[in-house]
Structure 1
């Protein structure tokens, strides 16, 4: 049994047994305050918007630089969200 939970979880969207979407749903069901950063190769706005609707705090492409991962983790811990180009594009499309 884990005594303490992490502040942030990094999830790959394409995991072998349970994908990132289903894992996000389970995490939020059991630990709604846990922050989630998704890593993926997919960048379609509607897909990112769906993840935002599920409560994902940041969305990063797998080829992102390590410094950007660090920035995302720090931003999510401090402000709950990290808005990069993929997130902002999806947000703009969702508001149109």
Structure 2
């Protein structure tokens, strides 16, 4: 019986999903609103959750995504923009500063 339970694709609620991914619940909500993370399954009137397999696939995709630069010049992984090339050339910096 224990082997059968381990094979189940369990549902994780918002707090569990955030903990699994190492982010705040608000970040998970933001990712859903921006379409980066798929919408959760409606479990009840006030309850939602994601299948563990869905979150594991999201994490795997995010780990494979290349680094890109955000508007502040910080490097981060962006699973939703894998083809983005936001590198700024030195000549562009001089033109923007002048």
**Fold match, TM over 0.5?**
no
TM-score w.r.t. structure 2 length? 0.29
Larger Rg: 2
More relative contact order, 1 or 2 (CA 8 Å, 6+ apart): 1
